[in-house]
Chain A
Amino acid sequence: GAVVSQHPSWVICKSGTSVKIECRSLDFQATTMFWYRQFPKQSLMLMATSNEGSKATYEQGVEKDKFLINHASLTLSTLTVTSAHPEDSSFYICSARGTHSNQPQHFGDGTRLSIL
């Protein structure tokens, strides 16, 4: 149980394009979803927190107009990297937590984004 699916797992695109990453909780309802970014040889860095039906809360230094987050349902959140540039190349990981207080936070397998 507690499976979080992330899609796509790998994407390569040209500079200036927008990329959408999907995060789904497959067998539980996710009240809260989180988006992280990880650069090579570094730890995960929290980008934003989103609650279903509400606007996302972004961490300091993360541009909300560049990283658009939508959490329209209890099983789906999307991250759109708008007008992507090479410096946005990174490993993006989503995470979800269910409605029950005894459930831990579960993670997707990440999306490796490469901007040429």
Chain B
Amino acid sequence: DAKTTQPPSMDCAEGRAANLPCNHSTISGNEYVYWYRQIHSQGPQYIIHGLKNNETNEMASLIITEDRKSSTLILPHATLRDTAVYYCIVRVLNQAGTALIFGKGTTLSVSS
């Protein structure tokens, strides 16, 4: 699976949009971009995933560049409860028998 690079930490004011970047310059054509987050002392929570089109759900939006070498997770109106470590992972969609491999992620701190 392709390697991802994320900033170690970011700050965001409550109510503002949080834009979390991820670089995946070695991504291959059949690899998807997945985003998870982990709130302290809990298991990771699935947020969103996409291949090449932008995606949106009730939690966030995923913007993938045309060359697919980077993406941005957008939390449109960050709240204090969005403080967590956010992981960007690229892998083949549900490749049989293979697990998600986690990097260090980005620690997002939302403050009032």
Contact = CB atoms under 8 A, between A and B. Distances in A.
Interface residues of B, number: 23
Nearest to B99: A34
Interface stretch (B16-24, B42-50, B66-74, B76-84): B42-50
B13 interface: no
Nearest to A32: B97
B94 A43 contact: no
Contacts of A43: 87, 102-105
Interface of B: 34, 36, 38, 41-46, 49, 87, 93-94, 96-105
Given A97-B94, A101-B94, A108-B43, 19 more contacts: A2-B46, A36-B102, A43-B87, A43-B104, A44-B44, A49-B97, A49-B98, A51-B97, A95-B44, A101-B93, A102-B94, A103-B94, A104-B34, A104-B49, A104-B94, A105-B100, A107-B36, A107-B46, A110-B43
Interface of A: 2, 4, 6, 32, 34, 36, 43-46, 49, 51, 57, 91, 93, 95, 97, 101-110, 112
A64 B41 CA distance: 26
A18 to B, nearest CB: 23
* Chain A interface mostly: strand
